[in-house]
Each structure stands twice: as structure tokens, then as C-alpha cells.
């Protein structure tokens, strides 16, 4: 890249980019992003909140003229950045597309120079409310870092046909709808089963309330995936901590059937259900939301012009 770099390290959300080592990390874990995509990320971070035109990107990254199809090269670099950050073009948290003009990094960035890496420099925020939201998300990531480091990233997951991934995701939603309807249809039996428990009334109310709330949520997810709702991947990932809490709670649902199965079988089913929210998140990252179809449609639209 041309010209001296003012800053050595950049921190945004749960990520940190080190210009000296050429490394991108999330909560300290290395994420594979190198070559032109990493250099483009540094360009965007240096000019956070500003438009970076496609012509400027080509000049900075391919000034020696080694690239022939610069349109494809820029698109590929931006897509690799978004994959590394878990971002999307339709619901951007980091890299925003300005149609026919270029790109802009919209998340707040902390900048550190090489001489004082421990002291953050001032960085403009992309709007007060957005800045507060990003800071809250960053704080949540730091508090739950032990869990976040265990979650799969897009690079950890295999490529799979969209129809299979979509079908598996929908089947998991239908499974939960079956749990909720089954529980609501057998409230009297469940009330007798949980009556020996402490706070049985509160447990009963919680069961009824969460089942009634989650039926429309599951219906929304089913139809959103079927009709490829724009930005679903980003929206689902924001909703996921809430779903994780309720899915772990409902993983105990096999114990509501102790009148029909033994304790060992109920425990085995529960251990499998604990994995379900993580499986759903992985399926979304693998393309259940139809992200790749949107990218293909955008590419075909550009070719037809």
C-alpha cells in the first residue's frame, strides 16, 4: 500500500486488526484474512465513516496494474471481509455498500499507534445512537467471551447445498413448534407432573408464557427462511442469545413426558436438545437464510447492465 500508515492496531467490536503482523483476531482468536482483503480492511478502518471509492481501492491495492478484472477483485475482497466479520451487505454492521460509489466502515473504531498501543486515540463515531449500541454489543461480547470463543465462524463450517441447510433449519423450527403445541395441549397432565416441585405455579406460568410467545417466533423464522427475507442472517444472529436462553430452557421438555418415557431416555433427549440452538446458528451461517442467493442475484443484475 502507498504512503506511511498512521496507526498500528485497530479495535472494533469484538475484533482487532494489527497492521504490523497482518493479523485479524476476534477475542484473541486468529481469523484467516490476508492479502488484498486484509489491506482493504485496513484502508476502511483508517477512513472510518468516510466513503472509500472503488477507484481509490484499485489505486491503493493494485497500483502496479497486476489485476485485469478489478470489478471482480474488489467485490471478492469485500465479500471475504464480510465473511470474516460475520457481516452482510443487506444488514451491515461494519462494511456498508454505497451503490455504484464504493464502501464505508460504519462501526466505531479505536485506533492505537505503534508507540502507545495501550492508549486509544479518538475516533469519530458513526452516529451517537449507533455508537452506544456498538459499545453495548462490545461489552456483551467481553462479558461472554468464554462462550463466544467456542462459537463457530463461517470459516469453520463446511459448504453444503442450500436446500439441505434450509430444510434442516426449518425442521428444527417445526420440532420446537411441536413441543410448544404438545405442552399447551396437555397442560393438565403437566400441572400434575410438576406439582411436587418448589414454585410449581411459577414454573407452570413460565412454561405457558414461553410456549405462547415462541410459537409466532418460530413461524416467523420458518417463513423468513422460505422467502429469503433480506438481512435475515444479521437479524437472527442478534436474536440468537434470546433464542439460546429459551432453547436451553425447553431442552428440559422431555422431562414433561416422564409419564410416557423413563428418566434415562428423557435425559438423553435433553442432552441432544441442548445442542440444537448451536446447530441452528451454524445452519444460518452456512446459508439457511439465503445470503448467497442474494449475492448471486446482485452479481447477475450487474452483469445484465
* Domain parsing of the chain, residue ranges: 9-131, 156-293
Kindly write down the DSSP assignment for every residue of 103-159, as one continuous string.
EEE-S--EEE-SS-TTSPBP---S-HHHHHHHHHHHHHHHHTHHHHTTS--GGGSPP
How far apart CA 292 and CA 305 sit, in angstroms, is: 20
| pLDDT on residue 14 | 84
Q: Which fold has domain 9-131?
A: Arc Repressor Mutant, subunit A (1.10.10)
| pLDDT on residue 147 | 53
| pLDDT on residue 176 | 94
Three-class secondary structure of residue 102 per DSSP: strand
78 contact partners, CB below 8 Å, separation of at least 6: 37, 40, 95, 97, 103
| pLDDT on residue 68 | 55
298 contact partners, CB below 8 Å, separation of at least 6: 89
How far apart CA 15 and CA 253 sit, in angstroms, is: 37
| pLDDT on residue 164 | 92
| pLDDT on residue 112 | 80
Residue of 52, 42, 50 lying closest to 22 (CA atoms): 42
Give the other-Cβ count within 10 Å of 192's Cβ. Answer: 11
Residue of 80, 83, 76, 102 lying closest to 299 (CA atoms): 76
Beta bridge partners of 110: 11
223 contact partners, CB below 8 Å, separation of at least 6: 229
| pLDDT on residue 70 | 64
CA distance to 33, 66, 213, 216, 287, per residue, from 210 (Å): 41, 58, 5, 11, 28
Helix boundaries (H) for the chain: 36-46, 54-61, 70-85, 128-143, 145-148, 162-185, 187-194, 200-226, 232-250, 263-283, 291-304
How far apart CA 268 and CA 178 sit, in angstroms, is: 19
How far apart CA 152 and CA 279 sit, in angstroms, is: 10
| pLDDT on residue 128 | 44
| pLDDT on residue 130 | 42
Give the residue ranges of the chain where pLDDT is below 70.
1-7, 63-70, 114-150, 154-155, 291-305
DSSP summary character for residue 288: I
- Positive/negative CA dihedral, 29, 30, 36, 39: positive
Amino acid at each position: 500500500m502507498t504512503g506511511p500508515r498512521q496507526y498500528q492496531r485497530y479495535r472494533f467490536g469484538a475484533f482487532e486488526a494489527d497492521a504490523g503482523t497482518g493479523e485479524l483476531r476476534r477475542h484473541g482468536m486468529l481469523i484467516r484474512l490476508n492479502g488484498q482483503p486484509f489491506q482493504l480492511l485496513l484502508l476502511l478502518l483508517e477512513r472510518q465513516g468516510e466513503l472509500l471509492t472503488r477507484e481509490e481501492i484499485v489505486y491503493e491495492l493494485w497500483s502496479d496494474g497486476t489485476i485485469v478484472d478489478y470489478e471482480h477483485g474488489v467485490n471478492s475482497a469485500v465479500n471475504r471481509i464480510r465473511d470474516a466479520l460475520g457481516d452482510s451487505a443487506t444488514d451491515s454492521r461494519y462494511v456498508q455498500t454505497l451503490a455504484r460509489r464504493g464502501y464505508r466502515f460504519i462501526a466505531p473504531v479505536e485506533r492505537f499507534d505503534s508507540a502507545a498501543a495501550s492508549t486509544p486515540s479518538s475516533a469519530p463515531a458513526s452516529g451517537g445512537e449507533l455508537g452506544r449500541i456498538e459499545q453495548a454489543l462490545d461489552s456483551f461480547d467481553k462479558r461472554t467471551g468464554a462462550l463466544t470463543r467456542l462459537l463457530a465462524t463461517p470459516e469453520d463450517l463446511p459448504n453444503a447445498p442450500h436446500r439441505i441447510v434450509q430444510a434442516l433449519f426449518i425442521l428444527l423450527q417445526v420440532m420446537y413448534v411441536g413441543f410448544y403445541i404438545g405442552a399447551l395441549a396437555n397442560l393438565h397432565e403437566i400441572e400434575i407432573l410438576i406439582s411436587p416441585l418448589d414454585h410449581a405455579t411459577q414454573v407452570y406460568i413460565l412454561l405457558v408464557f414461553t410456549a405462547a410467545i415462541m410459537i409466532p417466533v418460530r413461524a416467523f423464522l420458518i417463513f423468513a427462511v422460505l422467502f429469503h427475507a433480506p438481512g435475515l442472517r444479521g437479524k437472527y444472529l442478534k436474536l440468537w442469545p434470546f433464542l439460546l436462553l429459551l432453547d436451553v430452557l425447553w431442552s428440559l421438555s422431555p422431562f414433561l413426558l416422564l409419564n410416557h418415557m423413563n428418566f434415562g431416555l428423557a435425559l438423553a433427549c435433553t442432552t441432544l436438545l441442548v445442542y440444537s440452538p448451536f446447530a441452528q446458528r451454524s445452519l444460518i451461517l452456512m446459508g439457511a437464510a439465503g445470503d448467497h442467493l442474494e449475492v448471486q442475484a446482485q452479481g447477475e443484475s450487474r452483469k445484465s447492465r
